[in-house]
Amino acid sequence: MARLPLETIRVLDLTRVLAGPFGSQILADMGADVIKIERPVVGDDARIFGEPYLRDGEGRPTRENAFYLSVNRNKRSVALNIASTGGQALIRELVKSCDVVMENYKVGDLKRYGLDYESLKAVNPRIVYCSVTGYGQTGPLAGKPGYDAVFQGECGLMSVTGVPDGKPGAGPMKVGPSIIDLFTGLNVANAILAALYHRDANGGEGQYIDIALLDCGVSALSHYAQIYLTSGEVPVRRGTQGNGGMPTSMFPCSDGAIMITSGNDKQYVALCDAVGHPELATHPRFHTNVLRVQHRDEITEVFNAIFATNTVDYWLEKLGAAGIPSGPINDLAQVFAYPQAVHRGLRARAPHPLKPDLDVIRSPLNFSATPITDYRAPPMLGEHTAEVLGEVLNLDEEALARLREQGVI
């Protein structure tokens, strides 16, 4: 079996909920030994976020929440009370054999436990320590708590998402998934990999990484933010319309809807031919992309009327044959039945103690020499406590029993 890219890396993961766990799951998928530290009895906050829960063999709901399952595969769970002196001592011992520490506590919280960067750097100078917070370690809002939905508003994402002003239902709209958390998780994984490369390939040392959800949200606005910085003009909501090539929008059909992107003049001419209206290619207000952008609402209405005359399948066949970027508006049942998604294996199997045929989302990373082929189920609370403490710290059963009696594990 081929080795995975990060098999020699060990991560001590003190993060909870979504942004941090998503980042550590990326590292775990690539082979890192991610040791997830959870509070005894309670565990990661995500475990209590509500239905749906994984059901046992008799159909009864368990404490394994779908939210938690989505970002904790390929990890090992250790139930450990870091508020106790004994728990803090165990963390410091574990850090000696780790490459990375991740945490998403409030600014300064872990310093009172002696688990901040400076304290753990003294234990292991090579450690890469990543803190994930809402607003970063400095600034007027550094101590303020926050969640993804709040950051979607604060970072500007909601201001450019939703139905345009003057249209029925106009107003800002939150993106469905917790997208700022997910952007942050991607940045967390990238930053950690860069710090490890600096340490190991560039002859550098361990270092501290400060990642903020607000920063990641603003960064993810990309061309929208750059439009403002370049022109001083504040971008507006455009519904499903694109910001560049037109027509780009969701178009209702007789039995559903499709999404189309006409990214340049060549594609626009092909689109006009495909829908049986070649005259639109030379229309005085539509014949260049600059003009189509200027008359975006008018051209959208023209194509709305055209696509409403037939079915989704009819139009997708026509558009596909003409090479027009287009696709259906799938719900998730349709996504996992979509021929391309099936071919790519986007549904993976990770046997779980409560469900041997548990399905999980496959990692989107595809390596030729170090492929990700197997998945371990997201761990149950404390599933690997004895295993990790025995393997990493050489604690025997008697020592583990004492720690249980003391409420440390």
DSSP calls for 188-241? HHHHHHHHHHHHHTSS----EEEEEHHHHHHHHTHHHHHHHHHH-PPP---TT-
Structure tokens at 73: 């595969």
pLDDT at residue 270, as a whole number: 96
Query: What's the pLDDT tens digit per position in 218-236?
Result: 999 999 999 999 999 999 9
Structure tokens at 295: 């008359």
pLDDT at residue 58, as a whole number: 78
136-147: b (≥16 Cβ within 10 Å) or e = beeeeeeeeebe
Structure tokens at 115: 């688990």
pLDDT at residue 50, as a whole number: 79
Whole-angstrom distance, CA of residue 81 vs CA of residue 406: 10
Q: Which of 374, 352, 362 is nearest to 31 (CA)?
A: 374
pLDDT at residue 2, as a whole number: 59
Whole-angstrom distance, CA of residue 10 vs CA of residue 94: 10
Query: What's the pLDDT tens digit per position in 280-321?
Result: 999 999 999 999 999 999 999 999 999 999 999 999 999 999
| Residues of the chain falling short of pLDDT 70 | 1-2
Q: Which of 203, 189, 55, 74 is nearest to 126 (CA)?
A: 203
Whole-angstrom distance, CA of residue 220 vs CA of residue 198: 25
Whole-angstrom distance, CA of residue 343 vs CA of residue 13: 33
Whole-angstrom distance, CA of residue 391 vs CA of residue 409: 16
Q: Which of 84, 164, 65, 167 is nearest to 378 (CA)?
A: 65
pLDDT at residue 62, as a whole number: 82
pLDDT at residue 59, as a whole number: 80
Whole-angstrom distance, CA of residue 158 vs CA of residue 30: 33
The single-letter DSSP state of residue 4 is: P
pLDDT at residue 55, as a whole number: 83
- Beta carbons of 127 and 120 less than 8 angstroms apart: yes
The set of catalytic residues is: 181
- Beta carbons of 75 and 28 less than 8 angstroms apart: yes
pLDDT at residue 48, as a whole number: 84
